């Protein structure tokens, strides 16, 4: 029996027992030709591994594949993976907080993990994310979080397939309680059990979403910084603007720290940083996000009661139509919940109600985005709201009210309004918000 016949016989046997497998028989040269002709084939071959057979032949394939397919064409491959990431995230509303998320393809799903491994393999020669720790692109703690998230998603997906009896990656409302029960969540109420499970799901997927996103951004910045030579250098003249202020550097629309001691020198810079991003329209760079996260403990009681920080925060909330973007950046790095613990309790808090599509924190931020959007809205249906917002003399109080409107939900009671009012009163005392406000 020749090799082709043997492969077919084994393949048919696998099909008969229900395995979904494909096969192809190619020489090393044919594999390389396929990889060069199509980026998707290249992606598939990145995952190749030797199961059985000639070790020398496989080593030859790997050596030639690395040299001929990965070292060359890095920019095109990275662009493909970046576009794939963007289109998938766009399809799933660019949020992990969907009621019925897709465990594999959704934001923060398994495909995000695969994607960053493929990019790392091309950019660094290794798909092992621990090697990115050595390159200082990732901290050891972040690497552990990514691994924990991927492990959790694998368990969830296995359970979904088992329950459905087929390949199904949609974590539906019907199955969420079943998975929570089979994962041994201890809450007596099926509703509370499901909420606890889904909160863990959102925490893991958000972690994966943010960390892999930061890595993609770091690789993107790295690619932008590669010197352009030859004819391309004449066709692409792109001056890089750089501005230095208050311990920060603004470059290419992102803000960077001058050094890693800026918050040790002046913890109040943490609050000023976000005002700078708001006024200059800047995004936090990956190094900046990493530094903020390592200094979150500086946001302590004295920091929260500081008049200086209070005034800066008020200034941020007084900019009509330009608040949500800054609050999102604060929330992404864990700063907002540290400065306003009342809001921090809503982090990934699941609300199983018909009219709440998102977690409590995401719901709140989207409310603020809707308020911001009124400023430039020409929708006649929103005209009365746009006019009222335009006439509002105290946007600070209005934005603060929106931040606090659901904080009572963290108390896990049916009627959260009284709890929200009590927490709002406590926060207003701390922020010195008195009188008609």
**pLDDT tens, 137-185?**
999 999 999 999 999 999 999 999 999 988 899 999 999 999 999 999 9
User: Residue 215: CB partners within 8 Å, gap ≥ 6?
Assistant: 116, 119, 120, 132, 137, 138, 286
Confidence (pLDDT) at 254:
97
Query: Which secondary structure element, helix H or strand E, spans residue 284, and what is its range?
Result: strand 283-284
- Residue 230 CA from chain centroid, whole number: 37
In three-state form (DSSP H/G/I as H, E/B as E, the rest C), the secondary structure along 179-208 is HHHHCCCCCCCHHHHHHHHHHHHHHHHHHH
**How far is the C-alpha of 106 from the C-alpha of 141, rounded, in Å?**
24
The CATH H-level superfamily of 75-223 is Nucleotidyltransferases  domain 2 (1.20.120.330)
Q: What residue spans of 103-189 are helical by DSSP H?
A: 110-124, 130-134, 140-164, 173-182
CB 255 within 8 A of CB 249: yes
**How far is the C-alpha of 1 from the C-alpha of 350, rounded, in Å?**
59
Q: pLDDT grade, residue 355 (50/70/90)?
A: low
Q: Would the pLDDT of 429 be above 80? A: yes
The predicted model scores a pTM of: 0.86
Start-to-end C-alpha separation, the chain: 86
Query: b/e per residue, 320-358, with b = 16+ CB within 10 A?
Result: beebbbbbebbbbbbbbbbbbbbbbbbbbbbbeeeeeeb
> For residue 169, what are its two tokens?
């990656």
Confidence (pLDDT) at 408:
85
pLDDT, tens only, 11-44 = 889 889 888 887 788 999 999 999 999 988 999 9
**Chain position carrying tokens 């990145």:** 46
Q: In what order do the strands lie in the sheet with 248-251?
A: 242-245, 248-251, 254-257, 283-284
Q: Would the pLDDT of 230 be above 60? A: no
Confidence (pLDDT) at 237:
47
pLDDT, tens only, 188-213 = 999 999 999 999 999 999 999 999 99
pLDDT, tens only, 71-102 = 888 888 999 999 999 999 999 989 999 989 99
Confidence (pLDDT) at 336:
98
Question: Which DSSP category does 408 fall into?
Answer: G
Confidence (pLDDT) at 3:
77
**How far is the C-alpha of 36 from the C-alpha of 43, rounded, in Å?**
11
For residue 153, the SS3 value is helix
Q: pLDDT grade, residue 421 (50/70/90)?
A: confident
C-alpha pair distances (Å), 332 with each of 35, 96, 211: 37, 13, 11
pLDDT, tens only, 280-336 = 999 999 999 999 999 999 999 999 999 999 999 999 999 999 999 999 999 999 999
Confidence (pLDDT) at 350:
87
**How far is the C-alpha of 130 from the C-alpha of 134, rounded, in Å?**
7
In three-state form (DSSP H/G/I as H, E/B as E, the rest C), the secondary structure along 370-385 is HHHHCCCCCCHHHHHH
User: Residue 372: CB partners within 8 Å, gap ≥ 6?
Assistant: 320, 321, 322, 323, 324, 325
Nearest Cα neighbor of 328 from 362, 355, 303 is: 362
* Domain segments of the chain as ranges: 3-70, 75-223, 243-298, 306-436
Confidence (pLDDT) at 323:
98
Q: pLDDT grade, residue 240 (50/70/90)?
A: low
The mean pLDDT value of the chain amounts to: 91
For residue 298, the SS3 value is helix
**Percent of the chain scoring above 90 in pLDDT:** 74
Burial class (CB in 10 A: 0-12, 13-18, 19+), 231: exposed
């Amino acid at each position: 029996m020749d090799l082709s016949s043997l492969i077919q016989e084994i393949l048919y046997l696998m099909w008969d027992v229900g395995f979904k497998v494909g096969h192809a028989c190619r020489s090393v040269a044919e594999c390389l030709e396929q990889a060069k002709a199509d980026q998707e084939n290249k992606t598939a071959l990145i995952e190749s591994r030797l199961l059985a057979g000639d070790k020398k032949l496989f080593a030859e394939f790997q050596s030639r594949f690395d040299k001929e397919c990965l070292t060359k064409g890095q920019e095109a491959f990275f662009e493909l993976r970046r576009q794939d990431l963007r289109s998938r995230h766009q399809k799933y509303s660019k949020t992990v907080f969907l009621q019925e998320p897709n465990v594999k393809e959704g934001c923060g799903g398994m495909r995000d993990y695969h994607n960053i491994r493929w990019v790392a393999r091309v950019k660094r020669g290794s798909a092992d994310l621990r090697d990115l720790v050595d390159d200082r692109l990732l901290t050891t703690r972040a690497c552990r979080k990514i691994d924990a998230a991927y492990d959790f998603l694998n368990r969830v997906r296995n359970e979904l397939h088992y329950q459905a009896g087929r390949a199904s990656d949609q974590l539906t409302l019907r199955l969420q309680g079943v998975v929570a029960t089979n994962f041994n969540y201890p809450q007596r109420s099926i509703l509370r059990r499901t909420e606890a499970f889904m909160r863990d799901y959102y925490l893991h997927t958000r972690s994966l979403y943010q960390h892999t996103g930061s890595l993609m951004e770091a690789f993107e910045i790295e690619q932008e910084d590669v010197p352009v030579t030859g004819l391309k250098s004449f066709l692409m003249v792109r001056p890089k603007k750089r501005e230095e202020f208050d311990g920060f550097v603004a470059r290419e629309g992102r803000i960077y720290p001058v050094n890693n001691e800026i918050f040790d020198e002046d913890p109040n810079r943490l609050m000023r940083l976000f005002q700078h991003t708001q006024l200059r329209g800047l995004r936090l760079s990956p190094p900046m996000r990493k530094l903020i996260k390592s200094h979150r403990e500086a946001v302590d009681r004295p920091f929260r009661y500081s008049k200086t920080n209070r005034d800066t925060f008020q200034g941020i909330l007084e900019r009509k139509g330009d608040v949500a973007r800054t609050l999102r950046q604060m929330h992404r790095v864990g700063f907002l919940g540290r400065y306003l613990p009342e809001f921090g309790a809503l982090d990934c808090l699941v609300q199983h109600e018909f009219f709440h599509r998102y977690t409590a924190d995401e719901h709140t931020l989207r409310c603020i985005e809707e308020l911001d959007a009124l400023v430039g809205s020409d929708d006649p249906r929103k005209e009365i709201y746009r006019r009222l917002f335009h006439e509002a003399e105290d946007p600070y109080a209005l934005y603060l009210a929106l931040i606090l409107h659901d904080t009572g939900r963290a108390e896990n009671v049916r009627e959260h309004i009284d709890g929200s009012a009590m927490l709002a009163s406590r926060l207003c005392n701390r922020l010195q918000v008195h009188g008609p406000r």
